[in-house]
Amino acid sequence: MKRLLPRTRRFSLTRNAVLFLVTAVLLAASCALSLQLRHLIDKPTAAPVPPVSQVSRASLASPGAEIRVRSGLLRFERIDNPARTVARDPRGTVIATFTDGARTAVLTGPGRTFAEPRTAGAEVVTKSWVRLLPKPWARGAEKSGWFKTWLGPRLGSRAPDILATAFDYVAGAPVRTTAAGVTYSGAARYTPDTAGDARRAARGKPKPRTGSDFYDYLGIPWTFPDTVTRRPEKDRARSVDSSGYVRLVYGYRSGFPLNSRDSAAGNGLQRTPDAIARGRLGVPVIPLTDRRPAVIQQLQPGDLVFFRTKELPGGRIGHIGIYLGQDTADHPRFISSRKNAGGPTMGDKGGTSRLDGDGYYAQGLRGARRL
């Protein structure tokens, strides 16, 4: 007995120590998990796509056009808010998103980085590639004959998309010209002021001219589908305002139809931010209101974002940008052409290019639309 008692005492002490350590580890893990969950709830996120295990069997479509990737046939499913079709590979990975009523599709492709080191402390690292469908998406379109022809060559393609095209106009972007000598790419500036503009501003009068459109940047006349021809002004060469920039990227470069004016007639992108925001093209993923939206998780790269500015009274939308996605600092970032920055930028000169926080543009955000 004298030999057994010391062994029993030592075993009891060891067991108590183990129980104490296990309890401490569980409490620490619980606290860490609570903090992490609270952080995720408070933080704006990209539009969530539920894992395949959470999607009902009824929403899973057939392989559609039988499009095959390396791991097998794609499968399609339906998701709401907004109504859209998601394509998954056999492993459950989302490789494409198509929104009902919109022509912009987001495909998953090679990773890439967008940055402006001189004006932005964060980068946007993304695998999202934004491309235009030949027609607005509708439920079941994956079974259409045109769809396989369209999607196949674009899966994994590195050909320039909407986002890459948008960066063809930031500071330092290389100049490119057509065979006819028209400069269609290269750093753009914002609409320049003239001596007359300065005099009118000093008297408190509005500018007599609208900002620079895409044809001003190009320096060539442009005839629209309604037969109206617009001619560039020489002092505006290589310049665009915020909506002119969107029309340059989406319209001239990517093929989205353009209107000559703000008329709702036709199927083209209107001239001003306010008309585009209130128009009927695409899908309002964040409905336009007179207040800053409380939730922005519906956004996906390529969406147009609209801002109220001090320059326009009456709640009109005075600025428009293109949403890029979350940056490396975990903030939702956009790109736009603005006066204080001197042209297109995703940087923070002339206002922080974020949709969260207390910056000028974050506070002025009023809605978003998916073309």
Q: What is the model's pLDDT at position 331?
A: 97
| Mean pLDDT of all residues belonging to the chain | 85
Give yes or no for residue 197 having a pLDDT over 90: no
For residues 141 and 101, give the distance between their C-alpha atoms in angstroms, rounded to a whole number.
Answer: 11
- How many distinct helices (H) and strands (E) make up the chain? 8, 17
Give yes or no for residue 33 having a pLDDT over 70: no
Quickly state the pLDDT bin for 182 (edges 50, 70, 90).
very high
Q: What is the model's pLDDT at position 144?
A: 93
pLDDT digits (tens, 9 = 90+) for 103-121: 999 999 999 999 999 999 8
Angle, vertex CA 64, rays to CA 63 and CA 67, nearest 5: 70
Q: What is the mean pLDDT of residues 269-292?
A: 96
Give yes or no for residue 343 having a pLDDT over 90: yes
For the chain, the first-to-last Cα distance in angstroms comes to: 85
Q: What is the model's pLDDT at position 158?
A: 97
Percent of the chain exceeding pLDDT 70 equals 78
Percent of the chain exceeding pLDDT 90 equals 71
pLDDT digits (tens, 9 = 90+) for 39-98: 333 334 445 555 544 444 335 555 556 788 887 899 999 999 999 999 999 999 999 999
E strand spans, the chain? 68-69, 72-73, 75-79, 84-88, 94-99, 104-114, 124-132, 176-177, 183-185, 222-223, 229-230, 283-286, 304-308, 317-326, 332-338, 343-345, 365-370
DSSP letters for 185-207 = ES--BPPPP-HHHHHHHHTTPPP
Q: What is the mean pLDDT of residues 148-166?
A: 96
Q: What is the model's pLDDT at position 72?
A: 86
pTM of the model: 0.82
Q: For 164, how many CA atoms within 13 A lie in the half-sphere containing its CB?
A: 14
DSSP code of residue 23: H
Q: What is the model's pLDDT at position 68?
A: 81
Q: How far is CA 317 from CA 46, 49, 360, 362, 368, in A?
A: 24, 30, 14, 14, 11
Q: What is the mean pLDDT of residues 313-335?
A: 95
Ramachandran bin of 37, using left for φ above 0, alpha for ψ from -120 to 50, beta for the remaining angles = alpha
All residues at 6 or more sequence positions from 75 whose CB lies less than 8 Å from its CB, including other chains: 60, 61, 62, 63, 87, 88, 90
Q: What is the model's pLDDT at position 40?
A: 36
Quickly state the pLDDT bin for 267 (edges 50, 70, 90).
confident
Residue 28 tokens, joined:
């620490």
Q: For 368, how many CA atoms within 13 A lie in the half-sphere containing its CB?
A: 27
Q: Residue 43: count other Cβ atoms within 10 Å of its Cβ.
A: 13
Give yes or no for residue 8 having a pLDDT over 70: no
Residue 295 tokens, joined:
């939730």
Q: What is the mean pLDDT of residues 216-234?
A: 96
Quickly state the pLDDT bin for 200 (edges 50, 70, 90).
low
Q: What is the mean pLDDT of residues 276-286?
A: 95
Question: Residue 185 in contact with residue 173, Cβ under 8 Å?
Answer: yes
Q: What is the model's pLDDT at position 45?
A: 40
CA-wise closest residue to 94 among 76, 80, 112, 81: 76
